[in-house]
């Protein structure tokens, strides 16, 4: 050593060391890696040789707003840039929000870089993608200052001077979490600019980076482990030793520092140490704070990065879910998709088309999520998924275990219930048991995140917070930046490498989801069971927010149910040559896409919601055209191209060879009308249509039809017809109209007045099933049910104080959640409300023997108004409230309430393929948490001898507490979409009083379907010669609890095979006889992927024209059927 050199600390061997004080020492070693304090002289300052950096030569060209950049458009972008490119330099700004900018990047490796690792650094404070010069996506970039920052791209591990670098960088003018104006949940700024702050190549000091990662972990271990911990104290002591020997301006000290850290990490755990399985992931919201089109690019950026990192980390495993996103990558980045398919370490998982909301979709939608998702994974990756992967959604319906297993998956992963505000969920690994008793092994990662960073705190917490430590020694950690994509960073993978077996810290190993679950299943002892729904104690506002999206979803689900039924009937009657499977699948996938867990719940930005509405409009247009064309085919006609609307639907409408053809233009003088009943039960209802259309379309002499139950209102030019179509049938309108005297089984109306006055103060409307009494200000004062034996029972609460009793009262609640605006309605909202003004007008708008309608008008607030038609039909068991609202509020929630004269400790709610019961009291904190719950068609409160159901046609947010039933109608959050729920809404709710204690036995299920999917009038070119149907349940031989929910073509053989899906809806054993117009050739019980079951038990007996089925409680049964069709 040069005697003239200054004395260094590491030379003072044997010198007496001062005592250490933990707080001071800890802060000292933290400063060694701090991004702010001493960042010019600490270890972080040595990661890059800043003196060597070389600026990039940049040319930039701009694409139009909304332009979708994909591999297919790469060449077009390059060609455009050749003529429109301009010079770009650091400091330039680019925008506006959501725009795209392409940079052509060039540089030459200088002599000083020889043999060194060289990185390109490019930061526009936004997202970007690095492309090769020949159009291969290489890696995503994330600019800005967040912890997801990733602005480096490795261009060489051992640089060769003179090498010419040539890349393209596609810049997206948005951040990882969109472009919120003032906060990430705020609506995006539409004219935001993003500044280019860095663009260079620079030498990366690999050895200094290794020391940086070592020190980071030492500091984390020292902070996380208890002060009394020997290993934690050792970590702090080692870090302090590094601080003593290291001089950041002297590379020769680096070796000794790394020797110290290596010695620490070389110490191993014992055999009993807890094991953490780590899987890389980047949860990408299919839409949220960005539109769908940006998600396509997020997938490309994130997964290109994952593949690139696998080159440097052979142990790295990465999992991706959502078949839709993989389909987008297949379309937009075919080269990248090919790499994903062939990589053994890129592991697809999930089993569904998207990571859907699990509250609002129907049971059939769940089946299609799994059907199309699993089919994609099998076709593209060779096998279906075994793990249902849904880390981020807002509650989990109680039929999911059955459907998950029916989709050939054995395991389920989520973690969202760790967000519960009131009750901590008691299990991490458990069997989740559904309504029917099916169980699925479930795991909640104990780190309570799907975006872990592999910090020591997260690894230790995984072990400490694991509830089943006495039964299992394994848990999963899902790591990588998520929601907006990005995925794991190199630092996370470096941590895993060091923590594979570091004494004192749980062992961390990379494993795929299926590897983890199979290991868990082998090792866990006596796992516990959770029965019923996984209710999420947060985000309850998602049952109500963006009501139009929820209405469009339910309408679309029922519309496609009708289309599939009608097409199946037409094909098997030989009247439709080609089953339009591709067309129907496209429409289903649009519905499933919009069921993503930030779109259907209403928690996305306006751009994403606009996309959703556009897709729903497309579904409505195309499905309606398909329905009309298929109805025409049933009448023996094929429509011209102009009548159908698109080529696919035209092909679907072609008539089978040999069948009579009547190709006609759709002219009003040639039209007829058919009536489609897609429900599995006959129902008597009233249809209304313009009188001139009735006269034009029906080919009957109306003057001679005195025995038919119909009313022709010449004053209003409306026709009212009572119809009773058979189950799951299409019939000409004249044949569906009932016969009999209008004076029997009619609806009655009368005004109520004060004694000695002619001024009406209210009215009474009644039929054979119920009697309702209203005031003229819209309050339902009394509702009586009528039993078949003539007994009258009251279901509405009656108080002496008239001001506090009565139903159909509208209330306005203050709706200011703690943070998540569009997501949450908080328990305290019930403490602050205002009763809205009564109706300002009451008009009898329709009165005849078949239907009575009374119109109320309300001025709710200065900005919002409401019109409501109260409707009762002659034989209806429901009192219907047809409601239109012009809504312009801010942080308010509109509810309607009904105080009922019924007491029960629980209420029952319709859910997917069944019923869920929930408390009506606040005995425990678990009861308190369920102040707002999700229900589908209805909620019911019953006691022995009577009950009442509150039904709806597009709402989901219910509250039944004590004797008050309420339905949430509208919200008005402002983040992230300030337009949420603003404007016009139309919806229906209804009351169904019944005498039975069991609402299912009373017929509430049928009422729910009747309100949501009433018989549909379809115009056709000529009249239908005879009723057409395919399947139905024999009413005399079938339990009323069995529902025939779906009839569709089989996926593998759409022309000849059919899928029929039934379920038991009451919660008990049931039998049913399924009949067909054609003989059964074969019936096989299959799962929802339409693969045969090895031990299917539902099919009991097959006869010539019928099959007998036995179902367990809440069982969903899928049958693959071949019929003997006529030649």
| Active-site choice (34, 49, 57, 392) | 392
- The pairing of beta strand 164-172 with beta strand 194-195: unpaired
Distance CA 178, CA 185 (A): 9
Q: Which tokens hold the place of 1016? A: 């549909």
Q: Which tokens hold the place of 17? A: 């060391």
Please give the DSSP secondary-structure letter assigned to residue 627. H
Tell me, rounded to whole angstroms, the distance of Cα 884 from its chain centroid. 27
Read off φ and ψ for residue 430, nearest 5 degrees.
Answer: -165, 165
**Residue 880, preceding bond cis, omega within 30 degrees?**
no
Distance CA 788, CA 776 (A): 30
8 Å CB contact between 1109 and 1062:
yes
Q: Which of 980, 1103, 861, 911 is nearest to 403 (CA)?
A: 911
Q: Which tokens hold the place of 878? A: 């429901």
Query: For the chain, how many residues are written?
Result: 1127
Distance CA 476, CA 238 (A): 30
Residue 765: burial class (beta carbons within 10 Å; 0-12, 13-18, 19+):
buried
Compute, in degrees rounded to 10, the torsion defined by CA atoms 823, 826, 830, 831: -140
CA distances to 648, 770, 833, 851, 946 from 777, rounded to whole Å, are 52, 21, 20, 21, 28
CA distances to 26, 217, 1125 from 31, rounded to whole Å, are 9, 14, 81
Q: Which H or E element spans position 224?
A: helix 206-224
8 Å CB contact between 137 and 129:
yes
- Helices 252-265 & 206-224 angle (0-180, nearest 10): 40
8 Å CB contact between 1030 and 569:
yes
Distance CA 997, CA 782 (A): 20
Compute, in degrees rounded to 10, the torsion defined by CA atoms 128, 134, 135, 139: -40
Q: Which of 646, 549, 672, 568 is nearest to 985 (CA)?
A: 549
Give pairs for 618-622: CB < 8 Å, separation 24+: 618/587, 618/590, 619/556, 619/559, 619/560, 619/587, 619/590, 619/591, 620/552, 620/555, 620/556, 620/559, 621/645, 622/583, 622/587, 622/646, 622/649
Residue 751: burial class (beta carbons within 10 Å; 0-12, 13-18, 19+):
middle
Residue 862 has a CB neighbour count (10 Å cut-off) of: 8
Q: Which of 260, 335, 329, 322 is nearest to 297 (CA)?
A: 329
Q: Which tokens hold the place of 182? A: 């003032």
Q: Which of 216, 224, 211, 214 is nearest to 506 (CA)?
A: 224
Distance CA 687, CA 709 (A): 11
Residue 646 annotated to the active site: no
**How big is the CA angle at 720 (ends 714 and 726), to the nearest 5 degrees?**
155
Distance CA 1040, CA 1072 (A): 9
Task: Tell me which residues are annotated as active site.
Answer: 392
């Amino acid at each position: 050593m040069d005697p003239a050199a200054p004395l260094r600390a590491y030379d003072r061997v044997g010198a007496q060391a001062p005592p250490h004080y933990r707080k001071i020492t800890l802060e000292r070693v933290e400063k060694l890696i701090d991004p702010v304090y001493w960042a010019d002289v600490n270890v972080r300052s040595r990661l890059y040789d800043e003196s060597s950096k070389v600026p990039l030569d940049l040319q930039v060209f701009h694409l139009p707003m909304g332009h979708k950049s994909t591999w297919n458009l790469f060449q077009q972008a390059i060609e455009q840039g050749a003529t429109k490119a301009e010079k770009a330099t650091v400091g330039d700004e680019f925008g506006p929000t959501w725009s795209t900018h392409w940079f052509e990047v060039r540089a030459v490796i200088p002599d000083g870089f020889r043999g060194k690792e060289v990185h390109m650094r490019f930061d526009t404070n936004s997202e970007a993608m690095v492309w090769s010069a020949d159009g291969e996506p290489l890696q995503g970039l994330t600019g800005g200052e967040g912890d997801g920052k990733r602005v480096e791209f490795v261009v060489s591990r051992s640089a060769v001077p003179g090498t010419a670098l040539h890349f393209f960088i596609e810049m997206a003018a948005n951040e990882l979490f969109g472009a919120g104006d003032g906060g990430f949940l705020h609506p995006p700024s539409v004219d935001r600019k993003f500044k280019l702050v860095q663009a260079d190549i620079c030498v990366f000091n690999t050895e200094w980076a290794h020391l940086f990662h070592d020190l980071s972990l030492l500091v984390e271990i020292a902070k996380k482990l208890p002060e009394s911990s020997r290993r934690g104290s050792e970590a702090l002591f080692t870090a302090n030793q590094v601080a003593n020997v290291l001089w950041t301006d002297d590379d020769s000290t680096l070796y000794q520092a790394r020797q110290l850290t290596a010695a620490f990490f070389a110490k191993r755990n014992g055999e009993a140490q807890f094991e953490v399985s780590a899987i890389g992931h980047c949860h990408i919201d299919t839409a949220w704070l960005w539109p769908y089109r940006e998600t396509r690019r997020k997938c490309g950026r994130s997964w290109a990065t994952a593949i690139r990192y696998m080159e440097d980390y052979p142990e790295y495993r990465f999992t991706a879910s959502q078949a839709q996103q993989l389909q987008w990558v297949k379309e937009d980045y075919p080269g990248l998709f090919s790499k994903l398919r062939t990589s053994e370490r890129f592991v697809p998982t999930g089993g569904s088309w998207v990571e859907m909301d699990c509250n609002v979709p129907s049971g059939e939608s769940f089946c299609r999520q799994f059907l199309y998702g699993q089919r994609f994974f099998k076709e593209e990756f060779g096998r279906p998924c075994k793990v249902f992967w849904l880390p981020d959604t807002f509650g989990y319906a109680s039929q999911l275990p059955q459907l998950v297993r029916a989709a050939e998956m054995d395991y389920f992963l989520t973690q969202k219930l760790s967000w519960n505000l009131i009750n901590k969920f008691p299990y991490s690994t458990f069997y989740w048991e559904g309504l029917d008793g099916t169980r699925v092994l479930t795991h909640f990662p104990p780190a309570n995140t799907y975006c872990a960073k592999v910090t020591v705190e997260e690894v230790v917490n995984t072990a400490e917070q694991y509830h089943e430590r006495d039964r299992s020694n394994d848990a999963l950690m899902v790591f990588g930046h998520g929601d907006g994509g990005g995925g794991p960073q190199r630092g996370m993978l470096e941590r895993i490498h060091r923590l594979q077996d570091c004494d004192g810290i749980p062992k961390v190993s990379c494993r795929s989801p299926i590897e983890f679950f199979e290991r868990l299943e082998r090792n866990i002892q006596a796992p516990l069971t959770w029965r019923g729904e996984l209710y999420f104690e947060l985000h309850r506002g998602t049952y109500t927010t963006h009501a139009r999206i929820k209405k469009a979803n339910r309408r679309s689900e029922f519309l496609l149910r009708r289309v599939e039924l009608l097409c199946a009937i037409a094909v098997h009657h030989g009247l439709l040559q080609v089953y339009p499977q591709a067309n129907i699948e496209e429409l289903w996938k649009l519905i499933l896409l919009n069921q993503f867990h930030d779109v259907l719940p209403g928690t996305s930005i306006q751009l994403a919601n606009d996309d959703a509405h556009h897709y729903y409009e497309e579904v409505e247009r195309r499905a309606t055209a398909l329905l009309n064309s298929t109805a025409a085919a049933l009448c023996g006609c094929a429509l011209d191209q102009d009548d159908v609307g698109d080529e696919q639907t035209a092909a679907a409408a072609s008539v089978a060879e040999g069948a009579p053809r009547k190709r006609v233009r759709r002219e009003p003088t040639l039209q007829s009308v058919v009536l489609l009943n897609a429900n599995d039960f006959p129902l008597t209802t009233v249809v209304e249509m313009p009188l001139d259309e009735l006269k034009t379309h029906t080919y009957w002499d109306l003057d001679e039809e005195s025995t038919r139950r119909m009313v022709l209102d010449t004053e209003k030019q409306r026709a009212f017809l009572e119809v009773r179509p058979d189950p799951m049938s299409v019939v000409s309108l004249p044949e569906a109209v009932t016969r009999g005297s209008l004076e029997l089984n009619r609806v009655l109306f009368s005004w109520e007045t004060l004694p000695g006055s002619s001024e009406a103060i209210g009215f009474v409307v009644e039929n054979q099933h119920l009697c309702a009494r209203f005031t003229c200000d819209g309050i339902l004062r009394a509702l009586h049910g009528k039993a078949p034996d003539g007994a009258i029972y009251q279901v509405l609460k009656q108080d002496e104080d008239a001001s506090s009793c009565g139903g159909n009262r509208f209330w306005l609640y203050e709706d200011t959640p703690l943070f998540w605006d569009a997501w949450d309605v908080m328990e305290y909202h019930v403490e602050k409300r205002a009763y809205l003004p009564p109706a300002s007008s009451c008009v009898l708008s329709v009165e005849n023997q078949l239907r009575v309608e009374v119109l109320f008008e309300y001025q709710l607030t200065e900005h919002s108004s409401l019109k409501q038609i109260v409707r009762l039909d002659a034989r209806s068991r429901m009192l219907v409230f047809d409601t239109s609202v012009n809504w312009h509020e801010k942080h308010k929630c509109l509810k309607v309430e009904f105080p009922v004269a019924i007491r029960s400790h629980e209420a029952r709610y319709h859910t997917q393929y069944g019923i869920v019961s929930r408390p009506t009291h606040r005995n425990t904190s678990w009861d308190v948490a369920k102040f707002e719950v999700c229900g589908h068609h209805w909620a019911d409160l019953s006691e022995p001898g009577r009950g009442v159901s509150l039904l709806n046609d597009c709402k989901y947010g219910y509250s039944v507490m004590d004797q008050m039933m309420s339905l949430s109608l509208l919200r008005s959050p402002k983040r992230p979409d300030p337009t949420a729920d603003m404007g016009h809404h139309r919806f229906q709710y209804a009351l169904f009083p019944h005498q039975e204690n069991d609402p299912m036995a009373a017929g509430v299920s049928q009422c729910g379907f009747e309100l949501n999917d009433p018989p549909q009038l379809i115009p056709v070119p000529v009249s239908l010669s005879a009723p057409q149907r395919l399947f139905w349940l024999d009413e005399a031989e079938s339990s009323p609890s069995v529902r025939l929910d779906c009839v569709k073509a089989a996926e593998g053989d759409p022309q000849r095979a059919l899928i029929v899906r039934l379920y038991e809806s009451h919660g008990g054993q049931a039998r049913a006889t399924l009949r067909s117009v054609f003989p059964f050739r074969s019936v096989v019980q299959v799962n929802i992927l339409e693969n045969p079951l090895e031990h299917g038990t539902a099919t009991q007996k097959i006869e010539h024209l019928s099959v007998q089925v036995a179902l367990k409680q809440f069982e969903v049964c899928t049958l693959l059927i071949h019929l003997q069709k006529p030649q």
